[in-house]
């Protein structure tokens, strides 16, 4: 949003139609769309006669800072966090709708980069899924509201409520990586208030990976339907940290989730168990399976017990349900 030229007009200086044309030129066709963008609404096939739908929003300030995230990063992340919720039901993502509220001074190239981020995230994580519609508004604040749709392909949706005592608790995806990346960003506040851009070249390879995963998460989407086919009894996307999201699954299922400290330490980024439990935004898949039925790609990290006093235990001890509120409760990230 900083640089620009006459070749790169501000959103407020060109027509909505011109902005939409530029976005659509960078949008891939959706394999499941009968009718794509441009009419009052899109039409998407729902072969299994049901549609899975979720919505999640990124807001400038509480969810990201423009000193740290590029347009591409924001497009990617907005797509990924929504696609992950579709996969967590056992479904395959089919379509995104994107409502953009953009300050008038934003350069067109920034919005084009967002469109690239949406397209590439779908291409890499959910082939066939694409943006089929949306909305563009001028606003004082950048806000990206996304709805993702998906198809269950005849599977039953896997909710949070089906975990049974005796099941194995398993995890797919990162654990504490995105929080480590956020820690690197929050170390770059000048005077504790002004975010300072990160010189990526000054980071080592491990730090670079953490930063990249924070800005452009890579949830294990393909494992969602695989887990459903493999008999997952409960499943959810870990967006707010394993402790809090685990307690949500435990409460919904009426069970206690007992985690193994050594299993967590083995998976935790940098071996940091506290960050693994409290840090969010990894968008891994937490699922439960009958013993012996954990599919490849998931790592056992505990077991489901009859409900006790605490929703989540680690090595038998209750865990505080420390929430993840990025850009506010960022203590967890350090």
| Residue ranges binding its own copies (CB under 8 A) | 34-35, 38-47, 49-57, 59, 61-63, 84-86, 88-89, 91, 95, 97-99, 101, 132-135, 137-141, 143, 145, 147-150, 152, 157, 159-161, 236-237, 252
Q: What is 163-204 written as a DSSP string?
A: --TTPEEEEES-SSHHHHHHHHHHTTEETTTEE----GGGS-
Report in angstroms how near the CB of residue 123 gets to its own copies at its nearest. Answer: 20
Other C-beta atoms lying within 10 Å of the C-beta of residue 6: 5
Nearer to its own copies among residue 106 and residue 272 (C-beta): 106
β-strand pairing of 194-195 with 189-190? antiparallel
Could you tell me the smallest distance in angstroms from the CB atom of residue 55 to its own copies?
A: 4
Handedness of CA 152, 86, 93, 225 (dihedral sign): negative
Tell me how far, at minimum, the Cβ of 28 lies from its own copies, in Å.
Answer: 17
CB 68 within 8 A of CB 200: no
Smallest distance from the beta carbon of 246 to its own copies, in angstroms? 14
CB of 145 to its own copies, least distance (A): 3
- DSSP label at residue 298: -
Judged by CB, which is closer to its own copies: 146, or 263?
146
Of residues 131 and 263, the one with the C-beta less far from its own copies: 131
- State the minimum distance, in angstroms, from the CB of residue 195 to its own copies: 16
SS3 assignment, position 317: strand
Which of 120, 251 has the CB closer to its own copies? 251
Give 235's strand partners: 287
Give whichever of 45 and 208 is closer to its own copies, judged by the CB atom: 45
Produce one character per residue of 193-217: b if its CB has 16 or more CB atoms within 10 Å, e if not. Answer: eebeebeeeebeeebbbbbbbbbbb
Looking at the Cβ atoms of 97 and 276, the one nearer to its own copies is: 97
Shortest Å, Cβ 208 to its own copies? 29
Instruction: Give the closest residue to 127 by CA, choosing from 191, 83, 190, 189.
Output: 83
Distance (Å, whole) CA 179 – CA 177 = 5
| CA-closest candidate to residue 81, choices 32, 144, 163, 156 | 144
Residue with tokens 């979720």: 54
**3-class DSSP assignment, residue 224:** helix
Tell me whether residue 237 or residue 281 sits nearer to its own copies (CB atom): 237
């Amino acid at each position: 949003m900083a640089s620009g030229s006459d070749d790169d007009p501000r959103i407020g200086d060109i027509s909505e139609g011109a902005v939409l044309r530029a976005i659509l030129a960078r949008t891939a066709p959706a394999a499941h769309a009968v009718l794509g963008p441009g009419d009052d609404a899109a039409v998407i096939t729902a072969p299994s006669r049901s549609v899975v739908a979720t919505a999640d929003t990124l807001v400038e300030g509480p969810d990201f800072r423009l000193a740290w995230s590029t347009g591409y990063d924001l497009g990617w992340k907005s797509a990924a966090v929504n696609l992950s919720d579709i996969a967590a039901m056992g479904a395959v993502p089919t379509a995104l709708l994107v409502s953009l509220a953009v300050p008038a001074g934003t350069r067109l190239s920034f919005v084009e980069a967002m469109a690239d981020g949406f397209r590439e995230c779908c291409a890499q994580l959910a082939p066939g899924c694409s943006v089929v519609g949306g909305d563009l508004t001028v606003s004082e604040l950048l806000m990206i509201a996304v709805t993702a749709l998906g198809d269950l392909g005849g599977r039953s949706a896997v909710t949070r409520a089906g975990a049974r005592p005796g099941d194995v608790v398993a995890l797919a995806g990162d654990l504490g990586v995105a929080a480590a990346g956020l820690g690197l960003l929050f170390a770059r506040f000048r005077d504790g208030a002004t975010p300072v851009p990160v010189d990526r070249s000054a980071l080592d390879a491990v730090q670079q990976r953490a930063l990249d995963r924070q800005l452009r998460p890579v949830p294990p989407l393909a494992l969602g339907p695989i887990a459903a086919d493999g008999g997952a009894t409960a499943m959810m996307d870990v967006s707010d940290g394993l402790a809090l999201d685990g307690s949500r699954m435990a409460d919904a299922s009426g069970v206690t989730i007992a985690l193994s400290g050594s299993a967590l330490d083995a998976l935790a980024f940098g071996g940091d168990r506290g960050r693994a439990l409290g840090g969010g935004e990894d968008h891994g898949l937490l699922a439960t399976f009958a013993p012996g039925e954990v599919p490849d790609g998931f790592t056992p990290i505990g077991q489901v017990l009859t409900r006790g006093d605490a929703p989540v235990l680690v090595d038998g001890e209750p865990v505080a349900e420390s929430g993840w509120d990025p850009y506010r409760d960022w203590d967890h990230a350090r």
